[in-house]
Amino acid sequence: MRQHHNTLYVTSQGTWLGKADEAVEVRFKDKTKTKVPMHHLASIVAFGQVSISPYLMAACAEQGIAINYLNEQGRFLARVIGPCHGNVMLRRDQYRWADDPAACARLAQGFLLGKILNTRDLAKRRARMGDDPARKERLLGLAEALERHCDLVQAETELEVIRGHEGRAAKLWFDHYPDLLAGDPFFQWGGRSTRPPRDGVNAILSFIYMLVAHDCDSALQSVGLDPQVGFLHVAKPGRPALALDLMEEFRPLWGDRIALRLINRRMLKKGDFEVQGSGAVLLNEAGRKKVIQAYQQEKRKETRHGFLGEQTTVGLLPHLQARLLARVIRGDVSAYPPLLGVIGC
């Protein structure tokens, strides 16, 4: 079993990272805040104005620790990585699959069945919470509708039609979002909005989805796949299409679940956000730290992978799914098995 290595997220503006023996030294305002052994790390994610010494960059490249630079809101800027050690034969097979519409449709089915079934299960769980019978009826109706969309996806062979079914399922889910929220006046839902998010709920969702995409990208690279060449999402310059494919089944498992927990348990408040002149609503530094802390706590939980039957940590699930995807592309597994089952509540 692969060891679960951590991601070091650095959000405080003006932080400096350097190499101290075999550890990453984190300094802020000329004081050492912590040292993290490099063998514990899989990647470093730096938000905004974070300085990293060239000695640390070189050591990370040598040890396979990716360094990702994002702006303060989480938009990707650049990455520093070492030499690619992926299997060239696996990537050649991946590119052949990506050029085969029927193969793309089969893989897209797996990704989207995982997403829709996990969304259905989350709707059922939320229906059991609270004592409003009308709300419960609406959420159970949503779960039944999502089940029907799963049947449609499973029966279809054309990629564009499969995408259409998923789009309608996603619209159903987001149309029911008010029934998932506890009623905090600040967290009012006006529909899904991105680039920029227009309310606090969308700000949280977009930020967590970014974290999930990063983990899926890293998982794909670790098994030798090219994150830029996907099967469900269209390849575009600079777009990690395969990472977006893989993260679909993790959106309800990690993104929506963690966001709803943070909101409904009042772990985030109005002061954790900033409203810009353009109308964009974004997490501020304090808010980002709270979300990252919740995300890291989730990844440390123990769980069992249903298809593999392995006991593992939640944080390793993207790697296990990437490994299964590689086995499908090699021909060792006949069909991609989506990750199913809501972890926790």
| pLDDT at site 79 | 84
Is residue 17 within 8 Å of residue 46, measured between CB atoms? yes
Q: What's the pLDDT at 230?
A: 97
User: Lowest mean pLDDT: which of 71-85, 98-112, 131-145, 191-205?
Assistant: 71-85
Task: Give the pLDDT confidence score for residue 247 in this predicted structure.
Answer: 97
CA distance 107 to 98: 10
Helices and strands per DSSP (H, E), number in the chain: 11, 12
Domain(s) labelled CATH 1.20.120.920 in the chain stretch across: 88-330
Could you say which DSSP state residue 40 is in? G
24-28, 159-163, 191-195, 323-327: range with lowest mean pLDDT: 191-195
Query: What predicted TM-score, i.e. pTM, was given to this entire model?
Result: 0.87
Instruction: Return the beta strands (E) in 111-194 as ranges.
Output: none
Q: What is the pLDDT of residues 255-264, one digit of tens each?
A: 999 999 999 9
Residues flagged as binding site: 166, 233, 248
- 85: pLDDT strictly greater than 70: no
The label of the residue with tokens 């090219």 reads 226
pLDDT in tens, 294-335: 999 999 898 888 888 888 889 889 999 999 999 999 999 999
Separation of CA 10 from chain center: 18
Q: What is the pLDDT of residue 129?
A: 87
Percentage above 70 pLDDT, the chain? 97
Residues in the annotated binding site for Mn(2+): 166, 233, 248
Length of the chain: 345
Residue 343's pLDDT band, with cuts at 50, 70 and 90, is low
Average pLDDT, the chain: 91
Numbered ranges of CATH 3.100.10.20 in the chain:
6-80
**Does residue 2 surpass a pLDDT of 50?**
no
Q: Which residue, 300, 319, 318, 320, is CA-closest to 310?
A: 320
Q: What values do phi and psi take at 285, rounded to 5?
A: -60, -45
Which of 43-52, 245-254, 305-314 has the weakest average pLDDT? 305-314
pLDDT at 1: 36
Lowest mean pLDDT among 67-81, 274-288, 317-331: 67-81
Pairing mode, strands 31-37 and 23-28: antiparallel
pLDDT score, position 7: 84
Angstrom distances, CA of residue 226 to CA of 74, 96, 116, 231, 269: 22, 12, 25, 12, 39
User: CA–CA separation, 197 vs 155, rounded Å?
Assistant: 34
pLDDT tens-digit series, residues 120-136: 999 999 999 878 999 99
Tokens of 338: 């989506």
The neighbour count for residue 29, using CB atoms within 10 Å, is: 9
For 88-330, give the CATH class.
mainly alpha
- The pLDDT value recorded for residue 87 is 78
Whether 4 shows a pLDDT value over 80: the answer reads: no
Architecture of domain 6-80: Ribosomal Protein L15; Chain: K; domain 2 (3.100)
Cβ pair 10, 44 in contact under 8 A: yes
pLDDT of amino acid 345 = 43
